[in-house]
Amino acid sequence: MARQKATVMLITVAAFLFFAAFLLAAGTIGWMFLTYHDKMVAALLFEPIPQTPTVYHIRVRRPRVTHSNRNSDAAIRKDMIAA
């Protein structure tokens, strides 16, 4: 009989603690919801500003070598070799 009373008491305490923890968790969730309701709605309704990707326009210039420049470069090279 004493063992059965101890078991019933243990089950009662465990059930009470479980129920108290459940109420505490539900209360915390409700309190957080009431406190941060405006911020949650603002975050859900937020639409980010669309940004166009940055496009870089790079112009590659390769000036062509004229025949007069080629001849003068060749003359300079010949002078350097002869010296």
Q: What does pTM read for this prediction? A: 0.47
Give me the sign of the Cα torsion angle 10, 16, 17, 18: positive
Long-range own/partner contacts, residues 77-83 (CB < 8 A, 24 or more apart): none
CA distance 8 to 12: 6
> Domain extents for the chain?
2-82
Task: Determine the distance from the C-alpha atom of residue 80 to the mean position of all C-alpha atoms in its chain, rounded to a whole number.
Answer: 61
| Maximum Cα interatomic distance, the chain, rounded to a whole number of Å | 123
For every one of its 83 residues, what pLDDT tens digit does the chain have, with 9 covering 90 and above? 788 999 999 999 999 999 999 999 999 999 999 999 999 999 999 888 878 887 888 888 877 766 655 555 555 555 556 55
Give me the sign of the Cα torsion angle 7, 10, 14, 17: positive
